[in-house]
Amino acid sequence: MTKTIVSTSNAPAAIGPYSQGVTVSGGRTFYSSGQIPLDPTTGEITGADDVAAQARQVMDNLAGVLAAAEMDFDDVVRATIYLTDLSDFATVNEIYGARFQGPPPARACVQVAALPKGVNVEIDVVAVAD
């Protein structure tokens, strides 16, 4: 197995000992790290208490790392959404769902006690290139 690190300035730099993403199987399979609503330019949290703004930034960050792996949302086969409050599910679901033009991927959504930097939403994905 060959592991290739995926890195881009179009998503926030890692804030710990992890990569933004990794491809395996000759670049055909991509695993993202969880993306939170950090603006990749400023490093600041987007939408302090606005879960919709946070979800949009998270999806923009995922788009950035997917593009760096030469993929897009149509290649996503699995996603996990982490929310600090499940009452935000409908809002996040609408923003998340708008990014998928074809059949949506498999997905889990869970409520967690806390997320890094006190954000309300984090999402990670697995994608497979055609």
Model pLDDT, residue 7: 96
Model pLDDT, residue 1: 80
Residue 117 contacts by C-beta under 8 Å, 6 or more apart in sequence? 15, 36, 38, 45
Angle of CA points 58, 12, 107, to nearest 5°: 35
Model pLDDT, residue 50: 97
Q: Mean per-residue pLDDT for 75-92?
A: 98
| Alpha helices, DSSP H, located in the chain | 51-68, 89-97
Model pLDDT, residue 27: 87
Domains and CATH numbers, the chain: 4-128 (3.30.1330.40)
Q: Return the DSSP state at 123.
A: E
How distant, in Å, are the alpha carbons of 89, 95, 112 from that of 92? 5, 5, 15
Question: How does the average pLDDT of the chain come out, rounded?
Answer: 96
The token pair that represents 64 in the structure block: 């950035």
The pLDDT confidence band at residue 130, using thresholds 50, 70 and 90, is confident
Taking alpha carbons only, the member of 58, 70, 59, 60 closest to residue 6 is 70
Q: What is the pLDDT of residues 95-116, one digit of tens each?
A: 999 999 999 999 999 999 999 9
The pLDDT confidence band at residue 92, using thresholds 50, 70 and 90, is very high
Tell me whether residue 109 is one of the annotated catalytic residues.
Answer: yes
Taking alpha carbons only, the member of 75, 53, 54, 51 closest to residue 65 is 75
Model pLDDT, residue 15: 81
Model pLDDT, residue 96: 98
Q: What is the pLDDT of residues 43-67, one digit of tens each?
A: 999 998 899 999 999 999 999 999 9
Q: Which of 53, 109, 115, 128 is catalytic?
A: 109
DSSP 96-107: HHTT-SSSPPEE
